[in-house]
Amino acid sequence: LIPEETLAINAGDNNWENRKAVFDSAERFAKSGGKLLRLEFPKTVIQVYGSTAIVYSNYLYELEAGGERHQQSGRVTEVFVLRKGQWVNPGWHMDSGN
């Protein structure tokens, strides 16, 4: 789902992440015992142009890490491309509503 050329711009982070950084971050979170408690997309609009889909969403998630809960909300724009019969997600841009 996340191809080699992935580029991610995450809320509150000035660094852009490539695929390796996305997976490294997820691995560190999992190994630390972190948990995703809630994930919601209360508003989503999808535009499809041939083999490309652009997904605009409001998001809300809640994490637990180190015994503390953290909630984040904002907007995300994601790009999906139909490649060899599978939708892949080569990039997204999140902003924070907090």
Sign of CA dihedral 1, 7, 46, 43: positive
Count of CB atoms situated within 10 Å of the CB of 8: 21
pLDDT value of residue 71: 95
pTM, entire model: 0.87
Q: 20 in helix, strand or coil? A: helix
Which pLDDT score, from 0 to 100, does residue 29 have? 93
**Per-residue confidence at 81, pLDDT binned at 50, 70, 90?**
very high
**In the structure, what pLDDT confidence band is assigned to residue 87 with cuts at 50, 70 and 90?**
very high
Per-residue confidence at 98, pLDDT binned at 50, 70, 90? low
pLDDT value of position 30: 93
